[in-house]
Amino acid sequence: MTAQPITDPALRSTLLDRVAFNADGLITAVAQDHATGEVLMLAWMNRAALDETLATGRVCYFSRSRKSLWRKGERSGQVQTLVDARLDCDGDAVLLLVEQKGVACHTGRRTCFYTALRPEGAVELMPPEIAPDVLYGA
């Protein structure tokens, strides 16, 4: 079950006009595993990134550090296939239901949210499944 790509540029443009990009032209994007419900990561999208994601069904973010489109998994192979994109009530955040290949986190963990803040301190909930140098090359 993956999203049907939205092939009509005019429809994508109409949908993108509903999005309230911030002063930097960005919205927050939350990726969630469509099957397990696990929240995988949080990143950012500009209009071009969300347009590409809707057009291709492959998740593309905007890297604030590199200031360029970031096709998730282009180096690591850990791509995200879109299942559904859902805008929030004020249009400045998008929830991406995805099919995650492998792991979402650059540390090699399934999710980036692996550090729990608890009365016993900061608890690491899971070890890496893959070494980062395997993901990205040594």
Annotated binding site: 88-90, 92, 105, 112
B/e letters for 10-41, b = 16+ CB within 10 Å, e = fewer, are eebeebeeebeeeeeebbebbbbbbeeeeebb
User: Which listed residue (58, 72, 109, 110) binds a second copy by CB under 8 A?
Assistant: 109
Binding to a second copy by residue 24, rule CB under 8 A? no
Binding mask 48-67 for a second copy (x = CB under 8 A): ------x-------------
For the CB of residue 92, give the shortest distance to a second copy in the complex, in Å.
Answer: 8
For the CB of residue 136, give the shortest distance to a second copy in the complex, in Å.
Answer: 14
Residue whose C-alpha is closest to residue 107's, from 78, 74, 69: 78
Which residue's CB is nearer to a second copy, number 68 or number 126? 126
Displacement of CA 55 from its chain's centroid (Å):
15
User: Which listed residue (3, 60, 98, 135) binds a second copy by CB under 8 A?
Assistant: 3
Per the listing, tokens 């995805």 go with 98
Known binding-site residues for Zn(2+) equal 89, 105, 112
**Separation of first and last alpha carbons in the chain:** 35
